[in-house]
Amino acid sequence: MSPPVVFIHTNEQQMLGAIASAHSFRRQSRDPQRFEVRILRLEETPHLYRREGQPYLRMGKMATWHNADLQSFSPLRRMVPQLMGFQGRALVTDPDVFSVGGDVLELLESDMHGKAIVCRNLPPAKGGGEGQWATSVLLLDCAKLASWRWDEQIDAMFAGRLDYKRWIQLADEPQHTIGELPVVWNSFDKLDADTRLLHMTERLTQPWKTGLPIDFNMNFQGPTGRLRRWLRDRGWLPARRYQPHPDPRQEAFFFGLVKECLAAGLVSEDFVRRAVAAHDVRPDVFERIAASGDWKPLAS
C-alpha cells in the first residue's frame, strides 16, 4: 500500500508559507518517512491557470478568475483524489497551516469511521452554516471520491453550472459521507497546549505580510461581509496594509520555521529576496528571522 500523502496547495504568492508548512509536518513527526509531503502549485495546473480573466460561477453570480488572487489555489484541494489515482489516503491543507504540537501520522492513520471526508465544520463566524465545511484541512479516503473529476468540475464552474462556493464548502456532497475533524487539527488562529495544526486564517494579519499593501479584494463579500465587520470591530477601516499579527508567539513560530528552512537548505536567501521584491513577503523578513527563537512544542 502506498504511504499517505500530505498535500499543501498554494500559489506563488504563498510559497514561503507552503515551504515552512511542509517543513513543520516533517519536523513534528516521530517517523516522517512513513508519509510524503507534496506542494501543489496553481502555476503547475494549466487546466485552471490558463483561465485568467475568464468568468466563473461564484455565489450565484458570474465573477472573474484572477490567478493573482491571494487564495487562487483553493480549487486545487478538490484535485487531490484525482492526483492520487482515487486510491489511498491524503491530507490537504492550506499554505498557512502549520504542525505545532502534534504528529500528523496520528491524523493520517486515524479511524475515519467509513467516511470519505473528514474536516472541520465551518462556524457562522467564518461565514459558515448548515452543510458548509472548512475545507482548508481535509482528510480524504480517495477511493471513496471517484466522483471528484477535477477537470470536469473546473469546466462546469467556468460554464456556470457549478457554483464555486458550494463546491469548495462541500455543500452538495452527500452529508453522510463527511465526518467532523476535531478543531485542534484545524485550529483557527488559536495556539495553546492542545493545538495540533495551527491555521493562520486571518489574511490581513499573516505574519509574513505585515506592512505590505493589501493584495486581495476586501469587498468581495460586500459592505456587510465578515471581513469588513472584522476590520470595523478592530478600528482598521479603511485598511490599506496588512496588519501586525495579534499573537507575537505565532509570528515568532513562523519565522523560526523559516530560519530552520534556510539552515536546512529547503529555501534560499535568494528565493526570499525575490519574494520580498514581488511584495509577497515583508521587507524586514531577515530581521524577523534573526529575532525569532527556537520553537519548542507546547506541552499537551
Secondary structure of 77-117 in HEC code, one letter for each residue: HHHHHHHCCCCCEEEEECCCEEECCCCHHHHHCCCCCCCCE
CA–CA gap between residue 210 and residue 118 (Å, rounded): 33
pLDDT for position 222: 42
Domains of the chain: 5-188 (3.90.550.10), 206-291 (no CATH)
**pLDDT, tens digit, 9 for 90 and up, residues 132-163:** 799 999 999 999 999 999 999 999 999 999 99
Query: Please, how many CA atoms are within 13 Å of residue 162, restricted to the half-sphere of its CB?
Result: 20
Q: How confident is the model over 60-78, as a mean pLDDT?
A: 96
What stretches of the chain show up as alpha helix (H) in DSSP? 15-27, 46-49, 80-83, 104-108, 150-158, 164-168, 226-233, 248-263, 269-277, 285-291
Transcribe 265-289 into DSSP letters: TSS-HHHHHHHHHTTSS-TTHHHHH
Residue 230 has pLDDT above 60, yes or no: no
pLDDT for position 101: 87
Percent of the chain past pLDDT 70, that is, above it, reads: 87
pLDDT for position 296: 63
Q: How confident is the model over 117-139, as a mean pLDDT?
A: 81
Average per-residue pLDDT in the chain? 90
Which residue carries 480524504 as its cell?
140
pTM: 0.90
Q: Which pairing describes strands 197-199 and 187-188: parallel, antiparallel, or unpaired?
A: parallel
pLDDT bin (cut points 50, 70, 90) of residue 293 is confident
pLDDT for position 295: 63
> Cα angle vertex 155, ends 154, 160, to 5°?
100
Q: How confident is the model over 151-180, as a mean pLDDT?
A: 96
pLDDT bin (cut points 50, 70, 90) of residue 102 is confident
pLDDT for position 221: 45
Amino acid at 214: I
Q: How confident is the model over 199-221, as a mean pLDDT?
A: 82
**pLDDT, tens digit, 9 for 90 and up, residues 78-87:** 999 999 999 9
